[in-house]
Amino acid sequence: GESVGLHLPTLSVQEGDNSIINCAYSNSASDYFIWYKQESGKGPQFIIDIRSNMDKRQGQRVTVLLNKTVKHLSLQIAATQPGDSAVYFCAEIISGGYQKVTFGTGTKLQVIP
Amino acid sequence: GAVVSQHPSRVICKSGTSVKIECRSLDFQATTMFWYRQFPKQSLMLMATSNEGSKATYEQGVEKDKFLINHASLTLSTLTVTSAHPEDSSFYICSARESGTKNTDTQYFGPGTRLTVL
């Protein structure tokens, strides 16, 4: 299943399928990006990050893709599991200084068993 | 990994009272901490940046006299919601940036504090 940026706040996928969550960031000066997972009633949990000198980074079951030309990030989750159900936020940061984190609007991922 | 705690996790108070929320970095020092506010089904909105030993920097539209921030040590920042009203009911989350390490870009988030003002 695939979300279409910020206008589709909920993404439902079958367990075992791959998920793709998209995010459009706003500031072309941002050079560091993070995906966070937030479960209900909890704080954000770091998933994976990427710097602007890269266009792809892989973790365990997760991959982040960065397209600076169109200011677009995506998070790919392989073999989605029920425990992946949460809200996912992309965050953009300008390194240096106070490094303020600006969060995207988020996408809720629902995994159907 | 680095752990950030918040206390209390939930608080219910009467309108007009003040509420203090603590944010602690448990196993690292944090020169800078951040306070966020999150309404239901919405994203996190940065309220202020808290720097140890100096005044906090507030985001536009955030009343500094209403949301008092104190960052008295490298492991503790507090947010006090003064004269709370029902519209202040929200989920307040802090984050901390580790000082003195190679990777100072990563922020570690606390578990959040649910404030309900009656």
Query: Which of 35-74 (B) contact A at CB < 8 A?
Result: 41-46, 49, 51, 57
**CB of B108 less than 8 A from some CB of A:** yes
**CB of A99 less than 8 A from some CB of B:** yes
Q: In chain B, whose CA is at the least distance from the CA of A39?
A: B111
Pull the structure tokens for residue B5.
């705690």
Q: What ranges in chain A are assigned the alpha helix state H?
A: none
Average pLDDT, chain A: 90
Q: Measure the CA–CA gap between B108 and B83, rounded to whole angstroms.
A: 29
pLDDT at B41: 83
> Which chain A positions have a beta carbon within 8 Å of B6's beta carbon?
43
Q: Give the C-alpha distances (Å, rounded to integers) separating B31 from A23, B99, B100, B101.
A: 30, 6, 9, 12
Give chain B's largest Cα–Cα span.
45
Q: In chain A, whose CA is at the least distance from the CA of B31?
A: A98
Distance of residue A55 Cα from the nearest chain B Cα, in angstroms: 18
State yes or no: pLDDT of B80 exceeds 80: yes
Distance of residue A104 Cα from the nearest chain B Cα, in angstroms: 7
Give chain A's largest Cα–Cα span.
44
Closest by CA to A77, choosing from A67, A69, A85, is A85
State yes or no: pLDDT of A67 exceeds 60: yes
> Which chain A positions have a beta carbon within 8 Å of B108's beta carbon?
46
Q: Is residue B88 classed as helix, strand or coil in its secondary structure? A: helix
State yes or no: pLDDT of A2 exceeds 60: no
* pLDDT tier at A15, thresholds 50, 70, 90: very high
Q: Give the C-alpha distances (Å, rounded to integers) separating A30 from B10, B94, B96.
A: 34, 22, 20
**CB of A7 less than 8 A from some CB of B:** no
pLDDT at B89: 97
For residue B55, which phi and psi values (nearest 5 degrees)? Answer: -70, 150
Closest by Cβ to A43, choosing from B43, B46, B93: B93
Q: Measure the CA–CA gap between A110 and B91, rounded to whole angstroms.
A: 22
pLDDT at B100: 65
Q: Measure the CA–CA gap between B34 and B59, rounded to whole angstroms.
A: 11
- Helix%, strand%, coil% for chain A, nearest 5: 5, 50, 45
Distance of residue B16 Cα from the nearest chain A Cα, in angstroms: 25
pLDDT at B114: 97
Closest by Cβ to B111, choosing from A42, A49, A102: A42
Classify residue B59 by its DSSP letter.
P
Contact state of B42 with A105 under an 8 Å Cβ cutoff: yes
Contact state of A100 with B49 under an 8 Å Cβ cutoff: yes
Q: Are strands A107-112 and A86-93 parallel, antiparallel or unpaired?
A: antiparallel
